[in-house]
């Protein structure tokens, strides 16, 4: 059996390991456009921050490919799939397959701004991006970050920790507007501002100016912001330009079923490039987060190796530590004003603790926690399993929450 995996990220790596676990003999080839061995993408922000060195990034040992008998093809980007002949081409070479996994991840959403080619302007998606940023860090005093989402947020935090003055341009009133609600978002914003971040709302960068490297940005309110480093974090788009749209069903991402299989039999997709049902939203969605890539890679690999297992769906979730504040959130955190959703809130201002739970009937569909986050996984897993919660909501939200409370009335004394 010839297995071909497009992508060298954690979805592809996990799929390859899973396939090898079930199929000791099959051929496994992995094609990745980055030349680095598989690494932890979320950790590149720590590289920027300076809290880790680049040798901490790899997620597998140097002997990984040999150990799992995988043929790696690194530094090559796939340009097309020939479904009829079951081949994939990188423009340099062609590779045949029996089973194909598309795990090519996502690329930064491009912006159209004048002066984008000036030095020290970068997206932050790859290890290469951050290494280039680090080269420009010496002598940099003032950074501009476009976007208040996960990438922009992490970039701003990392650069603040490096001692730069940082200005962040965001559209909503608070950062991480897709991850948290207004209350938590304002707590996060206040914590960042307390540590020196300059947050500006409803402003766009219209152009960048400079001589070789960036020196200033022209903003949409007419002002000119001097800056010598720019990071663009305006979201990511699934990397699927090489996928034949007429044969493989595509929405925002590559649409897959519960077996991570696309509309073409024998072709699978997993990770940031794939789209399946979101458990909390109950609608097709792309949840481009690390733990999803791992789970989906594992399910895809299992199915590719011939074992039919079903994926229950993805769930958006994130955990972040900044300065003295910890945040964990997932699912539907900003429910529409609909009688179907019931919200419970707990606040402890002295300890800066905030919790919000969003219910749909008896099932939890969303949660936000600021500080005291250790029990967050208990709540998130009930969202994933769609467990109806039959205990009082106060028992679920207060600081004494622990797994044992979920079993009340279920533990029979025999």
Q: Which of the stretches 1-9, 84-92, 317-325, 344-352 binds another protein when contact is defined by CB under 8 A? A: 317-325
Cβ of residue 243: shortest distance to another protein, in angstroms?
A: 27
Q: Is residue 298 close enough to count as binding another protein by CB under 8 A?
A: yes
Q: Is residue 400 close enough to count as binding another protein by CB under 8 A?
A: yes
Query: How many chain residues touch another protein (CB under 8 A)?
Result: 45
Q: Which of the stretches 88-96, 180-188, 247-255, 321-329 binds another protein when contact is defined by CB under 8 A? A: 321-329
Instruction: Confirm if 12 and 5 have CB atoms less than 8 A apart.
Output: yes
Q: Which of the stretches 160-168, 193-201, 233-241, 311-319 binds another protein when contact is defined by CB under 8 A? A: 311-319
Q: Is residue 96 close enough to count as binding another protein by CB under 8 A?
A: no
The interface mask with another protein, positions 256-295, x = CB under 8 A, is ----------------------------------xx--xx
Q: Is residue 353 close enough to count as binding another protein by CB under 8 A?
A: no
Q: Is residue 330 close enough to count as binding another protein by CB under 8 A?
A: yes
Kind of pairing between the strands at 87-89 and 80-82: antiparallel
Q: CA 271, 44, 40, 107: dihedral to nearest 10 degrees?
A: 20
CA pair distance 119, 97, nearest whole angstrom: 41
Q: Which of the stretches 156-164, 185-193, 223-231, 371-379 binds another protein when contact is defined by CB under 8 A? A: 371-379
The interface mask with another protein, positions 31-60, x = CB under 8 A, is ---------x-xx--x----xx---x--xx
Smaller CB separation from another protein, 167 or 295: 295
Q: Is residue 414 close enough to count as binding another protein by CB under 8 A?
A: yes
Burial (CB count within 10 angstroms: exposed 0-12, middle 13-18, buried 19+), residue 228:
buried
Smaller CB separation from another protein, 129 or 142: 129
Q: Is residue 378 close enough to count as binding another protein by CB under 8 A?
A: yes
Q: Is residue 411 close enough to count as binding another protein by CB under 8 A?
A: yes
Q: Is residue 25 close enough to count as binding another protein by CB under 8 A?
A: no
Q: Is residue 403 close enough to count as binding another protein by CB under 8 A?
A: yes
1-20 positions binding another protein, by CB under 8 A: 14
The residue from 303, 376, 389, 397 that contacts another protein (CB under 8 A) is: 376
The residue from 321, 324, 345, 347 that contacts another protein (CB under 8 A) is: 321
In angstroms, how far is CA 183 from the centroid of its own chain? 23
> According to DSSP H, which parts of 42-82 are helical?
44-49, 64-67
Q: CB-based contacts of 149: which residues, under 8 Å, 6+ apart?
A: 175, 176, 177, 178, 179, 233, 234, 235
The residue from 75, 80, 284, 377 that contacts another protein (CB under 8 A) is: 377
- Please name the residue that has the structure tokens 């594992």: 298
Q: H or E element: which one contains 21?
A: helix 10-22
- If we measure between CA atoms, which residue out of 223, 195, 198, 189 comes closest to residue 209? 223
The angle subtended at Cα 359 by Cα 354 and Cα 365, nearest 5°, is 85
Cβ of residue 98: shortest distance to another protein, in angstroms?
A: 26
* C-alpha distances out from residue 150 to 123, 209, 303, 317, Å: 13, 26, 31, 11
Q: Is residue 150 close enough to count as binding another protein by CB under 8 A?
A: no
The CA-based diameter of the chain, rounded to the nearest angstrom, is 79
Q: Is residue 339 close enough to count as binding another protein by CB under 8 A?
A: no
The residue from 25, 84, 339, 412 that contacts another protein (CB under 8 A) is: 412
- If we measure between CA atoms, which residue out of 346, 344, 373, 337 comes closest to residue 359? 344
DSSP of 106-167: EEEPP---BTTTSBTEEE-SSHHHHHHHHHTTTT--EEEEE--SHHHHHHHHHHHHTT-EEE
Directed axis angle between helix 290-304 and helix 10-22, to 10°?
30
Q: CB-based contacts of 334: which residues, under 8 Å, 6+ apart?
A: 181
Q: Is residue 319 close enough to count as binding another protein by CB under 8 A?
A: yes
Q: Is residue 69 close enough to count as binding another protein by CB under 8 A?
A: no
Q: Is residue 326 close enough to count as binding another protein by CB under 8 A?
A: yes
Smaller CB separation from another protein, 11 or 232: 11
3-class DSSP state for residue 79?
coil
Q: Is residue 312 close enough to count as binding another protein by CB under 8 A?
A: no
- Please name the residue that has the structure tokens 């749909």: 360
Tell me which residues touch another protein (CB under 8 A). 14, 40, 42-43, 46, 51-52, 56, 59-60, 290-291, 294-295, 298, 317-319, 321, 326, 328, 330, 373-378, 380-381, 391-392, 395, 400-405, 407-408, 411-414
């Amino acid at each position: 059996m010839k297995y071909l995996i497009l992508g060298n990220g954690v979805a592809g790596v996990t799929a390859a390991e899973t396939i090898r676990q079930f199929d000791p003999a099959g051929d496994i080839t992995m094609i990745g456009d980055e030349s680095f061995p598989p690494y932890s993408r979320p950790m590149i922000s720590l590289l920027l921050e300076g809290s880790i060195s680049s040798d901490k990034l790899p997620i597998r040992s140097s002997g990984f490919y040999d150990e799992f008998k995988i043929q790696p093809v690194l530094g090559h980007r796939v340009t097309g799939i020939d479904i009829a002949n079951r081949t994939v081409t990188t423009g340099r070479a062609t590779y045949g397959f029996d089973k194909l996994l598309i795990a090519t991840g996502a690329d930064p959403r491009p912006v159209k701004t004048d002066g984008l080619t000036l030095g020290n302007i970068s997206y932050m998606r790859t290890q290469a991006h951050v290494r280039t940023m680090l080269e420009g860090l010496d002598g940099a005093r003032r950074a501009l970050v476009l976007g208040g989402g996960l990438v922009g947020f992490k970039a701003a935090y990392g650069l603040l920790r490096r001692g730069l003055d940082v200005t962040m341009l965001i559209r909503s009133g608070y950062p991480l507007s897709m991850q948290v609600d207004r209350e938590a978002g304002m707590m996060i914003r206040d914590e960042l501002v307390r540590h020196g971040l300059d947050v500006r709302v409803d402003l766009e960068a219209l152009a960048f100016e400079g001589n070789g490297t960036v020196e200033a940005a022209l903003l949409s309110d007419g002002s000119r912001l001097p800056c010598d480093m720019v990071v663009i974090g305006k979201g990511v788009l699934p990397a699927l330009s090489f996928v034949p749209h007429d044969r493989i069903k595509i929405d925002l991402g590559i649409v897959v079923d519960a077996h991570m299989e696309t509309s073409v039999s024998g072709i699978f997709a997993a990770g940031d490039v794939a789209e399946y049902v979101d458990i909390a939203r109950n609608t097709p969605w792309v949840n481009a987060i690390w733990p999803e890539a791992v789970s989906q890679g594992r399910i895809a690999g299992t199915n590719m190796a011939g074992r039919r297992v079903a994926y229950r769906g993805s769930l958006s979730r994130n955990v972040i530590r900044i300065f003295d504040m910890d945040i964990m959130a997932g699912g539907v955190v900003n429910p529409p004003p609909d009688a179907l959703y019931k919200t419970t809130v707990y606040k402890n201002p002295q300890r800066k603790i905030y919790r919000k739970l969003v219910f749909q009937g008896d099932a939890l569909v969303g949660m936000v926690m600021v500080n005291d986050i250790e029990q967050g996984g208990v709540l998130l897993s009930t969202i994933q399993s769609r467990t109806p919660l039959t205990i009082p909501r106060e028992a679920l939200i207060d600081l004494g929450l622990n797994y044992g409370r979920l079993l009340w009335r279920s533990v029979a004394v025999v």
